[in-house]
Amino acid sequence: MNRSQNHVPVIALMLLLLTGSVLVAGCFQERAPAAPDRVAELAAQYPPPGELVMVNGSRMHIRCEGSGSPVVVMEAGSTDISLSWAPVQHNISAFTRVCAYDRLGYGWSDPLTGPVTARDVTGRLHALLSAANITPPYILVGHSLGGEYVRYYAHQYPGEVAGMVLVDPGSEWQMVRTGENFTRQQKAAIADAVSGIQATGSKAADGTLAANLSLVPVDPRLPPYEFRAYGALLATRPYFWEARAVEAESAFAMFDEMRQENVTYTSPAPLIVISSGRDMGFAEDPAENRHANEVFRTLQQEMAAESPAGVYLVAPDTSHYVQLDRPDIVIGAIRSVVNTSAGQSGTAGTRLPQSGPPLAGT
């Protein structure tokens, strides 16, 4: 199982989804599907590592480790799940309680129904935390599109948020600021990606993926257990693929929703925005790709500048998945925000320039 490391946020789905789904979908010739008992056996090998909590009639999976307050709550990126945080979560549990969860449709949570909106995602997370007796204050940590979700959460429930760490976050303003031609390209890329996702999902439904796990796109940088569990979930849960398609199709409407809400984070609570060190493959044309990357980084710097306690950092030589390339950098940022929010010393209380130096380590 493998997956390209050049993943980009939902605003650049061409690489994020096509490399993981369309390319895989083209490799199914002459592959026999697995028997139903093999699918059931594979699914049974990887039960939920956390608990299933009933939220508005659906079960949602959340895994918490450690103890202490404030609680760190981790939101995965577009089409991703709680397992993507494994290298970070296990280490955060050494100094506070940390929880990662699966949105509806993903991981071990129940299937998703209907389109994806930021209000629905954050409302379900709010209800999940309450139902699981996980009380605020929270340190919210979001990757990619998950960064937009946690910003929306802080906008909706500001009294519950004691700080945030945004890991290479996307922005609802990327398309508007980059231009109409770029937006048209991304809409076309999403349409192609959705077709690929649906084709791959059909192979999960008929057992082909369960019989041929080498075809399942999973990031090889994950720890061994998480790598195998992620592959089993993708191979045995067709609705996982359906959720990926729905979230992709909902992207532009969700960006509109967030712009209309004028989502901002002006709290004095600590905030760290971490940018990846490598350029994204936003467009084939070099000039257009350069412009899109400049806009992407500028928007991330502006996110940090919204808050009087905001800090902008660059994780050198990292892909979009900073938490897998350099989990130590993300862990250090979270520790800093936790310490600062608790009134202890930490670098998050120090205001850095928007173009501040790369964070070399923690």
What is the reported pTM? 0.88
Which is it for the CA torsion 166, 227, 53, 113, positive or negative? positive
Residue 183 identity (one-letter amino acid): T
pLDDT in tens, 174-188: 999 998 888 888 888
Q: How confident is the model at residue 39 (pLDDT cuts 50, 70, 90)?
A: confident
Walk me through the domains of the chain, giving residue ranges and CATH numbers: 10-342 (3.40.50.1820)
Between strands 271-276 and 310-315, the pairing is parallel
The answer to whether residue 359 scores a pLDDT higher than 80 is no
On the question of pLDDT at 22 being above 60, the answer is no
Mean pLDDT to the nearest integer, 332-349: 75
Q: Which residue has the tokens 């350029």?
A: 279
Give 150-206 as a DSSP string.
HHHHHHH-GGGEEEEEEES---TTHHHHH-HHHHHHHHHHHHHHHHHHHHHHHHHHT
Rounded to whole angstroms, how far apart are CA atoms 272 and 54?
A: 32
- Average pLDDT value for residue range 128-156: 97
Mean of the per-residue pLDDT values of the chain: 86
- Please, are residues 45 and 232 in contact by the beta-carbon 8 Å criterion? yes
Give tens-digit pLDDT for 76-132: 999 999 999 999 999 999 999 999 999 999 999 999 988 899 999 999 999 999 999
pLDDT at position 84, please? 96
